[in-house]
Amino acid sequence: MQPLARMIIVTAEQVVNREKQKSKIYCCQKPYLTISLSLGGERAIRAGFESTAKSFAGSHLVMIPASVVIRSVRLIRAVFEQMICEMDYHEMTVKELCERAKINKKTFYRYYPTMDDLLLELQIEMSSEYVRIISGYRLPEEMGKVNEAFFRYSVRKGEVYEKITCAASYVSIRNTMIDRVNEATWHKSAWFNNIPEWQQHLLIVYVQYTIVEMYRQWVEDGKKASIEEVIAMSNRLICSGLDGFRNPSIAVMRR
């Protein structure tokens, strides 16, 4: 069975801060743990790395300057995002990415076991950022604010996010992002958790996938309407449907 990861990558500050070697990054050949470096700093993809890394003696660790790791990861990410904008995901290869970045495959695999891991890192960053934005909103009461936040966030993130959200080849990773958002929002709603499970499923399909499809259609149409117009219309459609479901008498009165 192919090992999950080629290396552990953690900062000396996180793992052995008492040794005051903050200018280095420790790497260790182990197959069951991955720590990835994002542009904003180090982040554990799989938990528990601190106790594991501390257990390795000096002879088990290979020192790599932090500047080298940061430069390499930034380069890989920049080329990967450029490729996302130019082609479908199934057309991408590690070979082409390395050729564009002018690095060898060993450098790529030092930080990412597969291309899927690189895409997963990007997906986690995007969905986590959006969740932080909407985490203070109450659902379903503030559905309009959540919808507005989605459209404004999507526009702000630019072409890479737009491609991942709209292109058919990213449907799997897109659904994973939607699931992560649902876990952090709807599943924390007392009202939502009190309705039958089958209603929960239909409600999530209606709200989340309708919002995404309206955004995709707006992009496909060339964004002819302003962002304010799209938010206003999508809010009317989404929120009126939610209101009708929560208060059937409202739906009856509107007939």
> Tell me: the pLDDT tens digits for 152-165?
999 999 999 999 99
- φ and ψ of 29, to 5 deg: -75, 100
Could you tell me the two tokens for 36?
Answer: 């990835």
pLDDT surpassing 70 at residue 87: yes
Q: Specify the length of the chain in residues.
A: 255
Mean pLDDT across 91-100: 96
> Who's near 107: CB < 8 A, 6+ residues apart?
72, 98
At 69, is the pLDDT very low, low, confident or very high (cuts 50, 70, 90)? confident
pLDDT of residue 140: 94
Query: Rounded to whole angstroms, how far apart are CA atoms 128 and 191?
Result: 24
Q: What is the pLDDT of residue 250?
A: 55
Integer distance in angstroms from the first to the last C-alpha of the chain? 61
* pLDDT reading at 168 higher than 60: yes
Band (pLDDT 50/70/90 cuts) for residue 95 is very high
For residues 18 and 175, which has the higher predicted lDDT (pLDDT)? 175
pLDDT beyond 60 at 182: yes
- Scan for tokens 């450098």, then name that residue: 107
Upstream peptide bond of 196 is cis (omega within 30 degrees of 0): no
pLDDT at 206 over 60: yes
**pLDDT tier, 171 (very low <50, low <70, confident <90, very high otherwise):** confident
E strands, 98-138, in order: none
Alpha-carbon torsion angle 153, 228, 222, 83, nearest 10: -10
Crossing angle of helices 171-184 and 115-134, in 10° steps, is 30
* Residue 63: predicted pLDDT: 55
* pLDDT band, very low/low/confident/very high, at 105 (cuts 50, 70, 90): very high
pLDDT at 59 over 80: no
CB atoms closer than 10 angstroms to residue 149:
16
Tell if the pTM clears 0.75, that is, is over it. no
CA angle 169, 108, 5 (to 5 degrees): 85
Using alpha carbons only, what angle is made at residue 242 by residues 236 and 246, rounded to the nearest 5 degrees?
A: 140
What pLDDT is attached to residue 176? 84
The alpha carbon of residue 135 and the mean position of all alpha carbons in its chain are separated, in whole angstroms, by 15
Proportion of the chain above pLDDT 70, given as a percent: 72
Residue with tokens 């876990």: 183
Question: Residue 182, Cβ neighbours under 10 Å: how many?
Answer: 17
Which helix (H) or strand (E) is 173 found in, with range?
A: helix 171-184
Compare 169 and 55 and report the one with higher pLDDT.
169
The whole-number average pLDDT for the span 214-239 is 96
